[in-house]
Chain A
Amino acid sequence: MGTCCTRAISIYLCLGSMATSALMASAVYATETPDPFELSPEELFNAAVTVTSVSKTEETLMDAPAAIYVLAGDDIRRSGATSLPEALRLVPGVQVARFGTAAWVVTVRGFASDLANKLLVLVDGREVYNHLYSGVYWDVQDTLLEDIDRVEVIRGPGATLWGSNAVNGVINIITKKASDTQGVLTTGLIGNQEAISGARYGGMTEDAISYRVYGKYSDRDRQKAFSGNALNDDMASSRGGFRADWGSGRDDFTLQGDLYQYQIGNVRNIPILTAPYASLIEEEGFASGGNLLTRWARDGEDGSRFEMQGYVDYTHRDANLLVETNTAYDIDAQYAFVQMGRHKLLAGGKLRYTVNNLTGSSQVRLTKEQRDDLLMSGFLQDKITLMPDRWFLTLGSKFEHNELSGYEIQPSARVQFLPDNERALWASVARAVRTPSRIERDANIDIGVAPPSVDVPVPVLVPLLPNPDFNAEEVIAYEVGYRHQWSEDVVLDITAFFNDYASLATSTIGTVSIINNGVDPVHAIFPVSITNSTKGTVSGVETAIDWQASDVLSFAASWSVLNIELEGPPPNIAIDAEVAENRSPHHQLSFRSQWDVTDSIEFDAIIGHTDQLSGVRVPDYWRLDLRLGWKVVDGLMFDLVGQNLIDDQHAEFATANSGPTVEIPRSIYGRFTWQF
């Protein structure tokens, strides 16, 4: 069967024959979990440790019944990424596009937009998904990158465990334990695009509480449009935080928090009713926030585990267009039962209370300035062993109530087949929803003014009207996946998916009227509101292969294909479907190498290709990033990094309302990291 896959002519044929022959032969291949006391120290040090995200309990990456990828902290360091979204470029199947100094699109499996809303993101268990516009403020998501232990990315729905808005994926950013960040670390980076400095101190008290404190300051330069004009979107940010861990081993406690403040330049078009119908303004925006989280985990000696976590998260954003203040209070609890016969149960519950305050402007009017939302949810999951070590079935569902869309049930079923220790096959079907945002429900925004045309001889004002009836978007997702560990050094991961969406957000044109009030110039109003009137499918294949060629050289390659077909009302009634189809690349390709040239020199390269995005008129582009690292002495590292080396500049994404399309230039920087 091994040769079947390595020499496969067709994946379908291969998977089909494997499944059937394995079914017949499963008894022959029966193996047991290896006894750790029978293993050599070399085998033990080489054994991979299990991961947590997919089932919220520890699992091996090989066995996880979902498309999961784990990005290690060291891969982030070696990639040369200087921000979290940039680091996500390393993850197969994730679309990352930069369209400003701190403006990012991050999405998986389509629906790219500056308001990409189908991906749930958590930092150490704290949700950073925002319910004002349903998305993530990537510009303020940051920490000392050296303190990141790993980033676990699940492509596909994760709503059964993680809740609403985990429609197309979940990203878990996990920082290191305080005991693993002891001592002093200082880092400084300076380049043609940015300057960043950071420091951390980790220590331990007499009572054996390990802790760290960190501070970071970033200054990122403004970007340029194709014309060469600099845009006023420079950014300065400072942030700091701490983490403390203590516990007996049976009970473990964590307390952590962050504070941040950002100053972000912004450019935007203000619609006006006289020629040239838009005026581009430059302004300063401010963002600040803080969070405090505590967690308690208890490991039962029988293998059960109880975890409880609570946090407060405060965010404030002040742009001239809109001022938002949001406070979230969140409590989660989870219990993993001891194995009972064939069943392994996992149950959990969550309470989340958010207070969201908005202040509008002449361009944004609100039907409701404050909304308090109580979200209650619970989940139950059972991993059923159909045949020991071979076949598993995982059934579960989330039951959730939120005040915007009411009750949501998000079930999933996953089946896993492990023919041997080297191969894993899985298939799943799941439902997930994206809950309505406040913008869709409560805001009345002047989006733009279209100049007079042959059809309409007066200027046309387009306001976005609130739609109190807008409801959740939903997906039924079908996935199959295959992992093959050919040897200790080569791992292949293929996932194919078919997502069936309904009730997708659609900009629907309302009744047109002519305004001739004697005050404003004569103009027409084309009101738009967001309705649930688009359906469609997104399908694709994601392939990733990791190869540790030798002790000093490793490669990772990935390729993903995406096909989006949406069906909405005709263009004279609604305007979304066609554009949304072409805002994500049909192909993405990436190739990465890490080479330890000598004991003190590292040389790393990343090459990537992204297909054109015709929906936002962005041509296809290649990226090349190179890094040369020099370990001067133990603890002191110098890096020289060049990013986007292939062309002078290229666009990665464009939005209608943020002025000219930003071109991402070549960037060169030097960095030192000193630990002692």
Chain B
Amino acid sequence: MAILMRVSLMLIGMWVAPAYAQQLHLAEQSIKSGLIYNFLKHTQWPQGGDAITVCLAGGNNLGKAVLRMEGRTVNRREIHIRKVKAGEEIADCNLLYVSGNVEWNALKKQVAGRPVLTVSDTKMFVRDGGMIALYHEEQRIRADLNRKTLRAAGLDVQDRMLQLVNTVNGE
């Protein structure tokens, strides 16, 4: 058995690619929060300002991971995070993250036509008036993006991000 093991280790050694990049492992919440930060960074809003506001609706299934964004700066704008409920004033929200989909039906009407980048974690979201869906598939986080609703809201997401997501043109 020892000899067989040596042979197999030698074979394995031959297969190994010289490249030595490390595989990252992160909790789902951290990856999604990191991606939200990157969408903030790579999106242009028609309105400027010193602050950029991330609103969280429907509980917060990203936990502490997303709250750690508070106070960081992106494109020289300071990130503020606040929780919102359907019906509340959301005029200052640049990005709206909806946990699950309970409150989306009510919020959908409120954000319609406004320059608010909407993000959720269900695949259905992009077919239900939302812009970006971040979901877990085969050990990775993937993103679907609806260009039509994005354009209608007057938002511009840079090509670097668009190349990494699946774009959907549906309703």
Contacts and interface: CB of A to CB of B under 8 A. Distances in A.
Given A36-B34, A63-B25, A49 B100 contact: no
Nearest to A38: B34
B44 interface: no
A46 interface: yes
A212 B164 CA distance: 29
Contact of B35 (A44, A74, A422): A44
A129 interface: no
Interface in A565-597: none
> How would you classify the secondary structure of chain B's contact residues: helix, strand, loop or mixed?
mixed
Interface centre among A9, A47, A545 (most CB of B within 10 A): A47
A488 B21 contact: yes
Interface string B100-137: 11111100000000000000011110011000000111
B47 interface: no
Contacts of B102: 207-208, 246-248
B31 A36 contact: yes
Contacts of B22: 421-422, 485, 487-488
A6 B21 CA distance: 15
Contacts of A251: 59
Contact of A37 (B37, B59, B161): B37
A657 B99 CA distance: 56
A63 to B, nearest CB: 7
A489 interface: yes
A204 B24 contact: no
B160 A41 contact: yes
Contacts of B21: 487-488
A11 B6 CA distance: 8
B12 A10 contact: no
Interface residues of A, number: 70
A45 B140 contact: yes
Nearest to A40: B38
Contact of B63 (A51, A207, A299): A299
Interface string B34-73: 1101100010000000000000001111011100110010
Interface string A1-26: 01000111111000000000000000
Interface of B: 1-2, 4-6, 8-9, 12-13, 15-17, 19-28, 30-31, 33-35, 37-38, 42, 58-61, 63-65, 68-69, 72, 99-105, 121-124, 127-128, 135-143, 160-161, 164
24 contacts: A9-B6, A37-B37, A41-B160, A44-B141, A45-B141, A49-B139, A50-B25, A179-B124, A180-B135, A210-B122, A248-B59, A249-B99, A301-B63, A421-B25, A486-B16, A487-B16, A487-B23, A488-B19, A489-B19, A490-B15, A490-B16, A490-B17, A541-B5, A547-B17
